[in-house]
Structure 1
Amino acid sequence: MFFYISKTLGFLATPTNGLLVLLLVGVVTLRWRFGRQLTGLAAVLLVICGLSPAANLLMAPLEQRFPRWDAGNGAPDGIVVLGGAIDATVFGARGELALNEAGERMTEAVALARTYPNARILFSGGEGKVLKQGHTEADAARAFFARMGLAPERIEVEDRSRNTTENAVFSKELAAPKPGERWLLVTSAWHMPRSIGCFRAAGFPVEAYPVDFRTPGQGLLWPFFFASDGLRRFDLASREWIGLAAYYASGRSSELFPAP
């Protein structure tokens, strides 16, 4: 039930969806002053969200929360790779592997697997869409790792999870980490705080290995040249902040804004 509620609220809480609804209501009621004000407000907010540095200002604190992993402490015993980087629908329909903007989750996992040949590799990703497509991201991940030359028997997949909470719970069940073992968690830097919170709540201690950075991390955060890029990032960052609050309020994360 939480899965369907979170998906519904996630759609409603996406800023651009709300602004488009506001704009539509304004256009329909243009004959009244109220409608003209709504239209103007929606247009101004769309410009601010799409072209100003606002999206990067929201994204940067998420990405800077956890530093890059320090390899100086020794090799990890295992590596958990969160889904979200492969389009399972395209894979199911075409049989082709299609990586999205978060592709570094997969490519960096391959690099880690080659650097640490004795580490277990666990991919976590089921079917996260409300309308089931019949193909999980884990199916595509198997094919991807095989194409990258990793031995199939080395790859463990968790294919039941539909959100970050289930990533943590089901990964722990499959990994069965022993006391003293060191496990890395590979996911996008902006998604790391919520992911760490979920893994801590599930009792699975992991070390953050953030990838897929979207902001420079320091210096001036420039405005966007294409409004579509700014709006997409604004939606992504806003939903992640909302997700942090919702997961903490529902007890699915150990902290409101997890830190190292």
Structure 2
Amino acid sequence: MQPSLLNTARKVLFPRRLCIRSYTQRLCRGYATHASHSLANLYLQLHRPKGLSRPGSSFPKIQKTYFSQFNDIVFPDPNRTDLFYHYANPPTPLSQTLPAFALSFLSETPPSVDSASVIGWLPATSPDSEQTENEATLADFRQNSKFIKFLHESINSGLKEGIDDVWKDSAMALGDGWLHIHDQRNPPDQARIGDPDDIIASVLVKDSQIQPDTYQPMPSYRVCTADGVLQLTPGLAAHLRRELLRAVQAA
């Protein structure tokens, strides 16, 4: 498996320890042990969220008085610096009683736990907090339907504005026919069609010009697979982030 959302942020075991996990390297800071070379240690030393105790104390304390479901616990994925994990207090779309990590392309706090700026959710705490070896799987991740809708609207508007040279060049090469908008986490070989869960949408090309009004979302598309989380071509990725930030600031 390639590094992805499920790489990081498996658990915050409340209140004993903070765990951050990766496919390629498990990064776990247990305050009863010493893992001085882990990324978790380094991250907490440099970017210690409010409410967490210093390494010398017996266990990290997370503030229990909240004005919203989100607090100051947010960190980037070490393998995908464009992805951020926001710790959300319950209830969440995953559980009425357990916290979760809300995955986002923005470091800014989502206005709500089910905001369109949230790509999806991953459990932050296991029901049995003693099971510290449990790894996150694709089954643990739940994508946000609001984000998926926003994603399609953003891609469609980006194609209308012609902000991505990759797809403009692809349309020029195609000439006429249906152009598939592929997720770049697992791009197909040239002149090949990608896997159904990696095709975000299709759009008709006529006379080498994209016809945005023919945009059709692919129902089988999944925002998170074994190959990772959504990756767009540079122009569409920048456009999506701008639109998400605008929506969050307007909320």
TM-score scaled by length of structure 1: 0.27
State the structure with bigger RCO (CA 8 A, min sep 6), 1 or 2.
1
Q: Which has the higher helix share?
A: 1
TM-score scaled by length of structure 2: 0.28
Q: Which has the higher strand share?
A: 2
